């Protein structure tokens, strides 16, 4: 039986199937009202892990979640990411892991989310212009100061992870990964060996038509949607995988969360496991 829960950092219990808030419109109007409803429905349905980032609207997504969900249920974890800022010559978004920028974005997130501590704070990307030790060291210092509970990384290699682990305990890794895109399988293996949560972003993505046809065939056999098959495959592929599918629609949200109850036989999994070879 596939476990439906995971302890991030060894002590923070969450439901493995979470929610990515990136797609929620935050601008005033009917779309924002729908976004609030989607976030609230996710929590009603038992989601305890919601992912956001400073990059998503320059903090507007964080504010949206606070409006929808504050005061938060005790079991709810909202994790956010820092390290991308409007630092370009014309104000465009660029990787920026300078300690002062990371500190400022964490302080902004604390205010926007209306919390005293961010239980899981992730470095959105490693800034190649700033020493890794300075970036991870800043997050470690913020943890020491009580503003961060646990530290995660995003879009990293095994070498990046090892270097960061020499500086601070890494509780999570968020890399692109799905049924048809397993480039980061070595990172997933490293996370599994170390008991680190692996949050695949873009957990549902389709490749060539033939691959999609095979997913559709399995979906038809188990009376599910291809999206549900893709999510169920992730949940069964490794016990450290915590998918965070995003949507701005309640019906899609409900469909995604229902994937947790989907049973794939070993024969189905064997067929799905071969998909990257066929794509």
Q: How many CB atoms lie within 10 A of CB 131?
A: 11
99-133 tens-digit pLDDT: 999 999 999 999 999 999 999 999 999 999 999 99
User: In the predicted model, is pLDDT for residue 61 greater than 90?
Assistant: yes
Backbone phi, psi, residue 116, to 5°: -95, -20
| pLDDT at 35 > cutoff 90 | yes
Does residue 132 fall inside a structural domain? yes
In a domain, 84, yes or no: yes
User: Which residue among the candidates 56, 70, 72, 177 is catalytic per the annotation?
Assistant: 56
- Percent of residues, the chain, with pLDDT higher than 90: 91
- 145, pLDDT greater than 60: yes
Angstrom CA distances, 267 to 58, 62, 252, 272, 273, stand at 45, 42, 27, 9, 10
Tell me, yes or no, whether 275 lies in a domain. Answer: no
Domain count, the chain: 1
Whether the pLDDT of residue 177 is over 70: the answer is yes
Taking only the tens place, the pLDDT of each residue in 205-242 is: 765 556 688 999 999 999 999 999 999 999 999 999 99
Tell me if 270 is assigned to some domain: no
Contact call for residues 4 and 15 (beta carbons, < 8 A): yes
Establish whether 56 is a catalytic residue: yes
Residue 82 and residue 105 in contact, taking contact as beta carbons nearer than 8 Å = yes
Give the mean pLDDT of the chain. 95
Q: Within a domain: residue 226? A: no
* Range of the structural domain that residue 137 is part of: 5-206+241-248
CA distance readout (Å), 259 to 77, 80, 86, 174, 233: 21, 24, 37, 20, 9
CA distance 276 to 181: 7
91 band by pLDDT with thresholds 50, 70 and 90: confident
Domain holding 201: CATH number? 3.20.20.100
In a domain, 211, yes or no: no
Using DSSP, state whether 79 is helix, strand or coil: strand
Are the C-beta atoms of residues 111 and 69 closer than 8 Å to each other? no
Tell me whether residue 228 is in a domain: no
- Residues 20, 51: contact at Cβ < 8 Å? yes
14 is a domain residue: yes
């Amino acid at each position: 039986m596939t476990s439906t829960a995971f302890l991030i950092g060894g002590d923070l219990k969450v439901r493995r199937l979470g929610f990515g808030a990136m797609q929620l419109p935050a601008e005033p109007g009917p779309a924002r009202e729908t976004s609030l409803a989607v976030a609230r429905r996710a929590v009603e349905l038992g989601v305890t892990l919601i992912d956001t980032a400073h990059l998503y609207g320059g903090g507007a997504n964080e504010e949206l979640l606070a409006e929808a969900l504050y005061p938060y249920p005790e079991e709810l974890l909202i994790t956010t990411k820092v390290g991308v800022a409007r630092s370009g010559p014309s104000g465009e978004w660029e990787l920026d892991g300078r300690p002062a920028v990371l500190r400022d974005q964490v302080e902004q997130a604390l205010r926007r989310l209306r919390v005293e501590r961010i239980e899981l704070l992730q470095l959105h990307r490693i800034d190649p212009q700033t020493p890794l030790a300075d970036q991870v060291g800043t997050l470690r210092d913020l943890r020491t100061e009580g503003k961060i509970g646990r530290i995660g990384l995003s879009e990293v290699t095994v070498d990046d992870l090892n270097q960061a682990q020499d500086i601070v305990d890494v509780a999570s890794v968020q890399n692109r990964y799905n049924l048809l895109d397993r480039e980061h399988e070595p990172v997933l293996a490293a996370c599994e060996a170390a008991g680190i949560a692996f949050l695949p972003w873009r957990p549902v993505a389709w490749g060539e038509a033939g691959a999609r046809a095979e997913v559709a065939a399995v979906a038809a056999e188990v009376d599910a949607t291809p999206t549900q098959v893709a999510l169920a495959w992730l949940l069964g592929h490794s016990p450290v995988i915590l998918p965070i599918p995003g949507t701005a629609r309640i019906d899609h949200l409900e469909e995604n969360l229902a994937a947790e109850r989907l049973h794939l036989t070993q024969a189905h999994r064997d067929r799905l496991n071969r998909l990257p070879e066929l794509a």
